[in-house]
Structure 1
Amino acid sequence: MTKKLSICMIVKDEEKNLRRCLDSLLPLLEGNHAELIIVDTGSTDQTVEIAKEYTNNVYFHQWNGNFSDMRNISISYAKGQWIFIIDADEELETPNELLYLFEGVKINNYNTIRIREKNLLSIKLNKHVYHFQERIFKNGGAFQYKGTVHNQPIYQQPVLTAHDIQLMHYGYINEDKDLMEKKFQRTANMLKKELEVDSEHVYYRFQLARSYMMHGDSAIALEEITKAYESMKRQDKRLITHRYYVFGEYARMALHTNQFKQVINICIEGLSYNKHYLDLYYYLGHAYLSLEEYSKGIEMLSKYIELNIQYTKNKLDLSNYTAVEMYSLDKTALEKTLDRVVSILYKESKINEDIGQYKSFLNEIKYIDSALKVKLLTKIFIKEKNETELYDLYKNIEEDQRYPFINYFETLKKDLDQEKKKLIEFTFSISEDDYGLLNKIRITQNRKKMLTEFINNYDIIKFTDGLIIEFVTYLMDYHYVTRYFKKIDSLTIKKIVKVLIDNEGSKKYFLKSLNNDFEFNDFQLNRVYIAIANILLLSEIEEERNKKDVDLELVYIFEKYVTKGIDYVRYFYNIDHIRITYNTFGNIEDKFFVLLHLADDMLQKGDIRNYNRLVLEATEEYPYLSSLMKRYVSKKLKKEIK
């Protein structure tokens, strides 16, 4: 019985891709719905061996430099009623949809089937471009390919566009430099030879420009696409509508090279021929924005977004744009546009465009990143002075997005006037959570009880640095800082103290705290004292560098810092083994204290030589405090001699 579908492939050295491709075809092959024909054109790797695992129809024909010849050879072996063309670096993502199409009768009314191809350009950026291609053809004996390089199918009408059948193409991944170089050298050389024969060939010149663009030679690409455009304009004007692809690539390449006025001119001309050419609205809008012509840019990008939404709802048919990929249909392009437009409308007060329109867009688009959607809606609601919707947005976001929202929101709030800030803080103060309590603290004069509640129940470290500093300044008013510092790690204490000393002028507060709040020899208190004292000492030493005498208060703090540091390491580490393990410590401050602890042991034994050796090692390990170490050691030795 004749198989209904013949899958035809030409391959060469495709061992990296072939198995992925053929596995995607298994639902067609296993159901006996199709035959698989593979023509190898000279592989030297394991391509042929892999191919034979899936089919006995593997044939050998030497590569002759002409893609269409090779395609036509593979087609000549086909016995099915239909021919399906696929390459090794592609994958059929929707085999069941293809099976469903062939099981129905609708297909009988057509000679060619057009399907969607999704081209992966960047794994890192998750960048894809889309276009439709004729890939399935009725095997009537007349179907063939023409063209040396970018072979074109010569097919018969009518054409059915199958929107739900999709290929994934992995052949142009930018991160694969070896692959891109190999393809560039092969394709560009073949195109140049063809252009030597016919320098006015618009399609070949267009493809050469694309090859240079993918290779990273954007200036040369722009030169070549300009030549393609000029050739098109010199030829039969009636063909311009069918050569729409030149406008799209010209605009893309001009935008990439920051030729914004050139982009605008070419897009306006291109849209006069094809008013639904989505990419041209995208390029045109971004070019206007780059020239700070905001109203025009936003108008064009709004049109782009509207068309994009229509396309995703299958209300806009772009299947006739088969000669070139659509670069602005993917999620990345849409998200970039939404982010840029909303940010401009948020920032620029002189623009009269309605930012609320983008609220409608964001609510209608279901597939953009949820975190980005929250950020953009936050800007929109702030711009609209809509505290109620802003609060509702906060209450309805997922828990894992709550702190990113708060931290982003707080960053935006910095630029608001005091009245707007207070209104927002009042609105959010009703929330029964840590952020709600923090806003209650902000708007209340008597904060003592609420600060205690926050310390006991919540963790301020989850918030931004600015909020943490703000919270600690509230604690300072009630001398609750030490109580809070006992709950957080030493590194965070140091960061907070440094910011408060450097930016808030809080040095006197912490000096007083060190003198009054640490009388008890408690492990947690010692840890907090060490962290605060460390930052104060380092800060003071920097200021005292050019003075002859060291401040006595500083000396006293340092002595207490060392005493508490030694007590801390004695408690925290295994004191019996510390002599042989301290060299493995990653924390140099702890290592410093351990060495002084070992030095004290030597001093108690009267071993001055080893005492001096260990003190020197401690000083070398933590040289920042060396000026205070001299006075400390001198005082220790004098006391021992007495």
Structure 2
Amino acid sequence: MMIKNEEINLRRCLESLKPLMKEVSSELIIVDTGSTDNSVEIVKEYTDKLFFHPWNNDFAAMRNTTIGYATGEWVLIIDADEELENYKGIVEFVKAKHGKSVGGALMTVINITGRKNERLPLMSARVFRRAADFCYSGVIHNQPHVKGQLLPTEASLLHYGYMTTDSELMNKKFQRTSLLLKKELEKDPENFYYRYQLAVTYSMYGDNKQALHEILKAYHLINRDEALLKQNIYILGAVVQFYVAAGYYDEEVVTIALKTLEMQPEYVDVIFFLAQTYALREEFEKSYQYYDRYLLLVENFAQLKIRYDISISHYTLNNTIEAHFNMATMSIKVGELERAKKHTAILMNSEMKNEEFRGSVYKMIVQLDYALGSFAENYQFYQSVIKAGDELTAAVVEDAETRWQGASIEVRDAYSSMFAELPDLYGTLNRVRLGRSTVADLAKEIFRKDPNQMQPYFSLTLFALMQDDLLCEIGGQLLTEQTILNFMKHLEDCHRQEFLNRSRQYVFSIELTGAVTYSKARLAKNIAKYLLFSGALDEQEYRQVFAVYLYSGSIYLQTLYNEIVFAKELVFDLKNVEEIYLLYMMLAERSKSDGSKSVQYLRKALEVYPDMSRGVEIILGSLSDKEDDGEMEQLTKQLLANVESLITAGQLEEALNMVNECETIIGGDVRLFAYKTLIIKKRHETIN
């Protein structure tokens, strides 16, 4: 072993060697190349064969120096950032009788990247027969020169040197390794192995574009010779990998991948990346077939010959969850729903250790069940998700509820029937949907908690408030206005016709002379406003609803604000344009006896909230004919400006409706005639 400043890793490594050293006659040789930390003191606890040599920027030369101190028949090479995991295979190998034809042993090096559960295996030659001609070569990424056969063993070690989550470590390694490689390439620009290693270095640093640039240079150096290609097939594998990592999936990627697989059909990584490439090209069936081939090879990896090719790394052996996820996604896209379910079932049974996919898989299960109209098969899954009560649960249930909105009545009932038995609030909601409980029951349960923390799909609560004034007084005050608006939006999306009917009944039942509490006024204001914008009211209904809107809105404002706000028109103390609009409409009502002043307030109301112009026109029409002509002209100009804005925005139908309404108020103004002509012309152009 050679070391320099390895106190973080060293003790773990040396402790892992103890079981091996107990079973075979051995010596522990360590060369320190200039440590300034506590490494030397740690080494002395484990061996007296500690030697010192200054670092010379040549890994192979220093490795050969360490081997020069060895006296045993066999040499095991290990680094401080590694840990011997399974030593039995080494014991079996060195105790066996091997002839001179055997030059060493292979073992599995498992790279630990720091990503959850990711272990990337590579077969590596680490045990060698000590001989006069055995040595390493290569200033960086040094390679052993071995005479004789390398036998595979079941021994393995863990390598922590590529902890990609340690940015400081990765940056330090990148700077050191890339500098050494570039210096060597200056001496030998056509050294394709160093060019390959530089590409790998850029890739590990996250620079995919530069990695691709360098690996293509290496590829072009060997592409002129078919034999050279076969001997260095790992370069072709890297070309495919870095193409995909850099976001390329054109025909060139496919061609090189297929060429690689002709030479090495077991190349797991290339098969995986080719499957990804076909998916990005939306050739889903081809992608599916290659993912299927990938999964079969991973399952039988221990029996593959490629496992013993020490030049090839295997980066995708841990990507089976991603493969199943992509296969499920593609199956949905091509309408193979049962096939997609097969993959989601595998993903669920895998315990979804990869959190990157878990939320998406859960939503995919919901999507499939809604598409197939059956939820019973995954009932236990749904129960476990809902009981978890975490953010992911909320996202999954919200997704299910969104799909519920667009589902048929039969599918909705199938979904609700499954959850109606749950002894919680969600169970009550689904019992209400099935008619087994009342909305009042749901509302009472909600108001025992904080209703403002409820998701919009509990919007049926509003029906309870609209039905039961007492409940409104108990719970209505707890609802914020934003919660009311969220609930209304959900009712509009999911229960539009029922919501319209109930809203009409509720608003028409309100007496404009009766006592209305603040909580009821706030609810009535918002329900009335919804109806005004619904487009579902005839002229008489609109007038009646608008009267309730102004009445409840006035009570709402007067409860919130002191009279001085109205007397001094302190509009900047109000929360939003609707409140300013209501204030001006209240002041217009109070000034009815003074037609000119009332029109002034109506004009101000129109300026701040032009979407409510129809209501202004209703009030204006109710005024006497004594209004000041100047004020009326100002209001007329404002109405015309609103018409022009609608035309500019392309809202021709709305503009025409406003012109017609303006004509009932201000008569046959020539400007209105001109706008009507323009609207008709534009509609004709649009149709043609």
* TM-score > 0.5, shorter chain as reference: yes
Equivalent position of 2:204 in the other structure:
214
Equivalent position of 2:136 in the other structure:
145
1:246 lines up with 2:217 in the alignment: no
The alpha-carbon deviation at position 167 of structure 1 amounts to 0.6
Residue-by-residue CA offset, 1:480-507 (whole Å, 9 max, x unaligned): 8737846967587356357469977888
Tell me, in whole angstroms, the C-alpha distance in 1 between the residues paired with 2:488 and 2:370: 33
- Choose the corresponding residue for 1:358, options 336, 343, 360: 343
The alpha-carbon deviation at position 414 of structure 1 amounts to 4.8
- Choose the corresponding residue for 1:25, options 11, 14, 30: 14
Residue-by-residue CA offset, 1:601-622 (whole Å, 9 max, x unaligned): xxxxxxxxxx99xx99997697
Equivalent position of 1:228 in the other structure:
218
- Choose the corresponding residue for 1:400, options 388, 397, 408: 388
Structure 2 letter corresponding to 1:326: H
The alpha-carbon deviation at position 293 of structure 1 amounts to 0.9
1:345 lines up with 2:331 in the alignment: yes
Structure 2 letter corresponding to 1:344: M
| CA pair 171-369 structure 1, distance change in 2 beyond 3 A | closer
The alpha-carbon deviation at position 46 of structure 1 amounts to 5.1
The alpha-carbon deviation at position 262 of structure 1 amounts to 2.1
- Choose the corresponding residue for 1:200, options 190, 207, 223: 190
Structure 2 letter corresponding to 1:240: L
Equivalent position of 1:329 in the other structure:
317
Equivalent position of 1:70 in the other structure:
62
Tell me, in whole angstroms, the C-alpha distance in 2 between the residues paired with 1:492 and 1:161: 67
Equivalent position of 2:179 in the other structure:
189
| CA pair 184-487 structure 1, distance change in 2 beyond 3 A | same
The alpha-carbon deviation at position 239 of structure 1 amounts to 4.5
- Choose the corresponding residue for 2:297, options 296, 303, 307: 307
The alpha-carbon deviation at position 175 of structure 1 amounts to 5.8
Mapping for residues 378-393 of structure 1, pairs under 5 Å: 378-393=366-381
SS at match of 1:112: strand
Structure 2 letter corresponding to 1:341: M
| CA pair 267-430 structure 1, distance change in 2 beyond 3 A | same
Cα contact 1:117–1:131 (8 A) shared by 2 = yes
Residue-by-residue CA offset, 1:541-584 (whole Å, 9 max, x unaligned): x9xxxxxxx9564332122235xxxxxxxxxxxxxxxxxxxxxx
Equivalent position of 1:545 in the other structure:
none
TM-score, length basis structure 1: 0.69
Tell me, in whole angstroms, the C-alpha distance in 2 between the residues paired with 1:45 and 1:218: 35
Cα contact 1:282–1:328 (8 A) shared by 2 = yes
Tell me, in whole angstroms, the C-alpha distance in 1 between the residues paired with 2:197 and 2:507: 72
Structure 1 letter corresponding to 2:60: S
TM-score, length basis structure 2: 0.65
Equivalent position of 1:554 in the other structure:
553
Mapping for residues 70-219 of structure 1, pairs under 5 Å: 70-79=62-71, 82-88=74-80, 90-92=81-83, 95=85, 97-98=86-87, 100-101=88-89, 108=96, 111-120=104-113, 123=115, 129-139=120-130, 143-155=134-146, 156-162=148-154, 165-171=156-162, 173=164, 176=167, 178-219=168-209
The alpha-carbon deviation at position 173 of structure 1 amounts to 1.8
Structure 1 letter corresponding to 2:560: Y
| CA pair 203-383 structure 1, distance change in 2 beyond 3 A | farther
Q: Report the more deviating stretch, 316-325 or 30-39.
A: 30-39
Structure 1 letter corresponding to 2:260: G
Cα contact 2:174–2:201 (8 A) shared by 1 = yes
Tell me, in whole angstroms, the C-alpha distance in 2 between the residues paired with 1:519 and 1:48: 88
The alpha-carbon deviation at position 25 of structure 1 amounts to 3.1
SS at match of 2:162: coil
SS at match of 1:259: coil
The alpha-carbon deviation at position 396 of structure 1 amounts to 5.9
The alpha-carbon deviation at position 146 of structure 1 amounts to 1.7
Structure 1 letter corresponding to 2:219: Y
Cα contact 1:66–1:149 (8 A) shared by 2 = yes
Structure 2 letter corresponding to 1:246: I
Q: State percent identity of aligned pairs.
A: 24
Tell me, in whole angstroms, the C-alpha distance in 2 between the residues paired with 1:40 and 1:345: 57
Q: RCO (CA 8 Å, sep 6+): is it higher in 1 or 2?
A: 1
Q: Report the more deviating stretch, 61-70 or 409-418.
A: 409-418
Tell me, in whole angstroms, the C-alpha distance in 1 between the residues paired with 2:307 and 2:173: 27
| CA pair 497-415 structure 1, distance change in 2 beyond 3 A | closer
Tell me, in whole angstroms, the C-alpha distance in 2 between the residues paired with 1:535 and 1:448: 20
Cα contact 1:42–1:60 (8 A) shared by 2 = yes
Cα contact 2:525–2:552 (8 A) shared by 1 = no
SS at match of 1:117: strand
The alpha-carbon deviation at position 285 of structure 1 amounts to 0.9
Cα contact 2:181–2:194 (8 A) shared by 1 = yes
| CA pair 46-277 structure 1, distance change in 2 beyond 3 A | same
Residue-by-residue CA offset, 1:62-103 (whole Å, 9 max, x unaligned): 222211111121222345565443334x242x64x32x4456
Tell me, in whole angstroms, the C-alpha distance in 2 between the residues paired with 1:59 and 1:531: 85
Which consecutive residues of structure 1, in runs of 5 or more, have no partner in the other structure? 1-7, 543-549, 563-595, 601-610, 634-642
SS at match of 2:149: coil
Q: Report the more deviating stretch, 183-192 or 476-485.
A: 476-485
1:61 lines up with 2:60 in the alignment: no
SS at match of 1:410: helix
Structure 2 letter corresponding to 1:254: Y
| CA pair 201-102 structure 1, distance change in 2 beyond 3 A | closer
The alpha-carbon deviation at position 38 of structure 1 amounts to 3.2
SS at match of 1:355: helix
Structure 1 letter corresponding to 2:375: E
Cα contact 2:10–2:39 (8 A) shared by 1 = no
The alpha-carbon deviation at position 459 of structure 1 amounts to 8.5
Tell me, in whole angstroms, the C-alpha distance in 1 between the residues paired with 2:309 and 2:59: 22
Tell me, in whole angstroms, the C-alpha distance in 1 between the residues paired with 2:451 and 2:47: 63
The alpha-carbon deviation at position 205 of structure 1 amounts to 1.9
The alpha-carbon deviation at position 623 of structure 1 amounts to 8.4
| CA pair 365-627 structure 1, distance change in 2 beyond 3 A | closer
The size of the alignment, in residue pairs, is 549
